[in-house]
C-alpha cells in the first residue's frame, strides 16, 4: 500500500519585494516547505501508520526544490522516502503544468492508493493543483479534508463544506486536499533530522516522465505592480483612549464610513 | 464596457473586442456543483463576446440545474445525482461534457466542490489554469488574461493559445431571465464517493460581501469570550464580524466563511476595522478594496499600520470599549 504526499518547496510572498515594473524579487525570501504542507504530511503519516502503508513524498519544481536541505526538511516530518523532479523549466510553472508532472510521478511510482496534499501553497494559493491532478489521474478529488481513517479502497473522509461538515466514503484511489487546520503538525526533533538524512531520495529527470502535452501555451507578455488605493496613514494619539475613540468616530463620519 | 466584481476588485471588463470583427464564436463552459451561485461567472462568460454559446454543466441537484437553466445561459447539461454522492463524484460526467464541445474558456467558482469540477474539466482539456483573473480579452487565436499572482503583489499579463480554465468568485445566485432552456441529462459512471453523514455547522452562515462595515478580529483578542466586546462594537457600528485565518481555522472561534484573505473572503466594504490583526500580506489582500481601513493594535510596529487610513496603537480592549460607547 502506498500513500503519496505532494508537497511544495517555495517561499512566502510576504518576504518578496515587487519593483515598480511588477517584477517580483524573491532574493530575500527563504524557501521552505509550503506553510500548510506539514499538515498534509502529518495527516498522511497518521493514516500510513494505521494501515502499514509506505509514505512517499513527491515534489516538483525548479532548481532548489531537491537540495539535501529541502529533502531532509520534508523527510524529517515522517516520510519514508522522497521522489523529486527538479528542473528549471518548471520555474514559474502554472497549476496545470505542475499537476501534470505530479500525476506523471504518481504513475511512475505505481500502485499508489492515495495522494494527500495541503490546502493551498503559500506563494500561489490557487488550490487547483490537487483538483487538476485528480483529473489527470482519473481519480476523485475532495478538498477541505479534516480527517482520514479506514483503508485505501474503503476510506472514511471527514471534510468541511460550506455550512457544515460531511463524512464521505471513498471506494477507490483518490486525491485529498487537507484543510489548513486538519491537525497540528509536530515539529521535527534532532532525531527526526538525523533519521531523515538516511532516507532514500530519488531524483527523476523531467524528460524521463510521461507528461501529457498541454493544449495551451502560456506566455507572460507583461507585468505590473497593481495600483493600490492611497491610504491616509494617520496615527491617532491614544494617550487618552476616550479622546482617541471620539476623534476616530468623528473622522469616520467625515469620510462617510459611518 | 461593463463593471464587474472579480477577484476582489471592481474592474472594467472591456474585452468585447473581437479582433476579427463580428461573428467570431467564443464558446464558454461554466461548471456548477451543488450551489447555483454563479452570477459573476455568467457575467464574465457573456462578456467574452462574439456569438458563441454559454453552456453550463451542473453536477448538483436538479433544483440547481433548474435555477441555472433559467439564468440566461444557452445550454444546460445536468449530470443527474448518483445516489448519495457529492457533486465531486460526477467529475467524469462534467469532464466528458466539456471535452465533447471544447470551449475557449471554462469557468468555475471557488467553493471546494466547484474547484474539483473545474480541475477535472481543465485536465480533460489539457487547459491552462489561472486563478487570479482581473480581466480577460479574447482575441482570434489567443486569450489574454491579466492575472494577479503571489498574494496579488503583481499582475501578470498572460497570453494563452489554447483552452483556459479560470477560477473566479462565483457571485450571487442569478435571477431568472426569460423562459429558460431545456435541461439535457447526461450520465457517466460516477466516482465511488458516498456521503455517509452531513453535520450542519455550529456557526451561522454569512455573506461578508453584503456588509458595508466589517470588523476583522485577529489573534490580539485573548479569549473566545472576549468576542462579546467585539459583538457590542459590531452592533453599534452595524457591522459584520470577520477574522484572520487562524481565528477561524485553528482557534475555531468562527465559521470558515468569516476569514478574510488570499484563500478566504475578499471584501470591499465602506469600512474595515482590523482589531488585533498584525497585517500579514495573506490577510490584507482580502481588504485592499475597502474604502476606509482602521487598525487597532498594541504593537506600534505591526505591519497593519502601513496599510491603513487610521491607526490606533494601544490596548484593544480599552479602545474597542471606548469606540463602542462613543457610537452609542
Q: Indicate yes or no: CB of A127 within 8 angstroms of CB of B293.
A: no
Nearest to A164 among B159, B160, B200 (CB): B200
Residues 115-134 of A with CB under 8 A from B: 119-120, 122-128, 130-134
ipTM for the whole complex: 0.95
| pLDDT tens digits along A196-215 | 999 999 999 999 999 999 99
Quickly state the pLDDT bin for B82 (edges 50, 70, 90).
Answer: confident
Give yes or no for residue B26 having a pLDDT over 70: no
Domain B2-185, CATH homologous superfamily name and number? HUPs (3.40.50.620)
Distance CA B322, CA B185 (A): 60
| pLDDT tens digits along A21-70 | 999 999 999 999 999 999 999 999 999 999 999 999 999 999 999 999 99
Q: Work out the average pLDDT over B49-66.
A: 90
Distance CA B203, CA B253 (A): 9
Residue identified by cell 476510506 is: A155
Q: Indicate yes or no: CB of B308 within 8 angstroms of CB of A99.
A: no
If one looks up domain B208-327 in CATH, what number appears?
Answer: 3.40.50.1220
Please tell me the class of the A2-208 domain: alpha beta
* Domain assignments of chain A as residue spans, ordered by start: 2-208, 231-258
Nearest to A249 among B213, B290, B326 (CB): B326
| pLDDT tens digits along B91-150 | 999 999 999 999 999 999 999 999 999 999 999 999 999 999 999 999 989 999 999 999
Give the 3-state secondary structure of B104-162. CEEEECCCHHHHHHHHHHHHHHCCEEECCEEEEEECCCCEEEEEEECCCCEEEEEEEEC
Q: Indicate yes or no: CB of B129 within 8 angstroms of CB of A236.
A: no
Nearest to B155 among A22, A165, A216 (CB): A22
Q: Indicate yes or no: CB of A231 within 8 angstroms of CB of B312.
A: no
B59, B93 contact by CB (below 8 A): yes
Residue of A nearest to B104 (CA): A216
Number of A/B CB contacts below 8 angstroms equals: 303
Residue of B nearest to A15 (CA): B281
Q: Indicate where chain B has its CATH 3.40.50.620 domain(s).
A: 2-185
Phi, psi of B65, rounded to the nearest 5 degrees: -60, -40
Q: Label the pairing between strands B9-13 and B2-6.
A: antiparallel
**Minimal C-alpha gap between A7 and chain B (Å):** 18
Q: Which residues of A touch B124 (CB under 8 A)?
A: 135
Residue of A nearest to B157 (CA): A222
CB under 8 A, 24+ apart: contacts of A193-197: A193/A72, A193/A76, A195/A75, A195/A76, A196/A71, A196/A72, A196/A73, A196/A75, A196/A76, A197/A68, A197/A72
**Minimal C-alpha gap between B5 and chain A (Å):** 16
Amino acid at each position: 500500500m502506498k500513500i503519496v504526499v505532494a508537497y511544495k518547496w517555495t517561499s512566502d510572498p510576504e518576504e518578496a519585494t515587487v519593483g515598480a515594473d511588477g517584477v517580483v524579487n524573491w532574493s530575500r525570501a527563504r524557501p521552505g516547505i509550503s506553510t500548510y504542507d506539514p499538515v498534509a504530511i502529518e495527516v498522511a503519516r497518521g493514516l500510513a501508520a494505521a494501515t502499514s502503508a509506505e509514505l512517499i513524498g513527491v515534489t516538483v519544481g525548479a532548481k532548489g526544490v531537491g537540495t539535501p536541505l529541502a529533502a531532509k526538511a520534508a523527510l524529517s516530518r515522517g516520510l519514508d522516502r522522497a521522489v523529486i523532479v527538479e528542473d528549471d523549466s518548471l520555474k514559474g510553472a502554472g497549476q496545470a503544468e505542475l499537476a501534470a508532472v505530479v500525476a506523471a510521478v504518481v504513475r511512475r511510482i505505481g500502485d499508489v492508493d492515495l495522494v494527500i496534499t495541503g490546502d493551498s501553497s503559500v506563494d500561489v494559493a490557487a488550490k487547483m493543483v490537487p483538483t487538476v491532478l485528480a483529473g489527470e489521474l482519473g481519480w476523485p478529488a475532495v478538498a477541505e479534508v479534516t480527517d482520514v481513517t479506514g483503508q485505501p479502497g474503503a476510506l472514511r473522509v471527514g471534510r468541511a463544506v460550506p455550512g457544515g461538515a460531511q463524512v464521505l466514503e471513498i471506494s477507490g484511489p483518490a486525491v485529498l486536499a487537507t484543510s489548513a487546520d486538519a491537525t497540528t503538525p509536530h515539529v521535527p526533533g534532532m532525531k527526526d533530522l538525523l533519521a531523515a538524512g538516511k532516507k532514500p531520495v530519488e531524483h527523476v529527470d523531467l524528460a524521463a516522465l510521461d507528461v501529457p502535452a498541454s493544449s495551451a501555451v502560456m506566455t507572460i507578455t507583461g507585468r505590473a505592480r497593481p495600483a493600490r488605493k492611497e491610504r491616509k496613514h494617520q496615527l491617532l494619539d491614544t494617550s487618552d483612549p476616550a479622546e482617541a475613540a471620539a476623534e476616530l468616530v468623528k473622522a469616520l463620519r467625515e469620510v462617510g464610513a459611518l | 464596457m461593463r463593471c464587474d466584481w472579480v477577484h476582489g476588485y471592481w474592474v472594467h471588463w472591456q474585452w468585447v473586442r473581437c479582433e476579427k470583427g463580428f461573428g467570431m464564436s467564443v464558446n464558454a463552459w461554466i461548471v456548477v456543483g451543488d450551489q447555483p451561485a454563479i452570477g459573476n461567472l455568467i457575467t464574465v462568460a457573456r462578456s467574452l463576446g462574439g456569438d458563441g454559446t454559454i453552456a453550463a454543466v451542473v453536477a448538483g441537484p436538479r433544483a440547481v440545474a433548474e435555477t441555472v437553466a433559467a439564468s440566461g445561459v444557452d445550454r444546460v447539461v445536468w449530470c443527474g445525482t448518483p445516489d448519495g454522492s457529492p457533486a465531486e463524484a460526477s467529475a467524469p460526467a462534467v469532464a466528458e461534457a466539456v471535452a465533447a464541445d471544447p470551449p475557449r474558456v471554462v469557468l468555475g467558482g471557488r467553493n471546494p466542490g466547484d474547484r474539483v469540477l473545474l480541475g477535472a474539466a481543465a485536465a480533460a482539456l489539457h487547459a491552462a489554469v489561472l486563478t487570479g483573473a482581473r480581466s480577460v480579452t479574447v482575441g482570434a487565436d489567443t486569450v489574454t488574461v491579466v492575472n494577479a499572482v503571489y498574494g496579488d503583489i503583481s499582475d501578470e499579463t498572460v497570453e494563452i493559445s489554447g483552452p483556459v480554465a479560470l477560477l473566479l468568485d462565483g457571485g450571487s445566485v442569478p435571477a431568472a431571465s426569460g423562459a429558460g432552456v431545456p435541461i439535457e441529462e447526461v450520465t457517466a459512471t460516477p466516482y465511488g464517493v458516498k456521503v455517509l453523514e452531513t453535520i450542519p455547522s455550529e456557526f451561522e452562515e454569512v455573506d461578508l460581501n453584503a456588509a458595508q462595515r466589517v470588523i476583522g478580529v485577529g489573534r490580539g483578542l485573548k479569549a473566545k469570550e472576549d468576542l462579546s466586546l467585539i459583538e457590542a462594537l459590531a452592533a453599534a457600528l452595524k457591522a459584520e464580524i470577520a477574522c484572520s485565518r487562524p481565528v477561524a481555522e485553528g482557534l475555531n472561534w468562527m465559521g470558515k466563511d468569516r476569514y478574510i484573505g488570499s484563500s478566504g473572503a475578499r471584501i470591499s466594504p465602506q469600512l474595515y476595522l482590523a482589531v488585533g490583526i498584525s497585517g500579514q500580506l495573506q490577510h490584507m489582500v482580502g481588504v485592499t478594496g475597502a474604502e476606509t481601513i482602521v487598525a487597532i493594535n498594541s504593537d506600534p510596529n505591526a505591519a497593519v499600520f502601513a496599510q491603513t487610513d487610521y491607526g490606533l496603537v494601544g490596548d484593544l480592549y480599552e479602545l474597542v470599549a471606548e469606540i463602542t460607547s462613543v457610537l452609542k
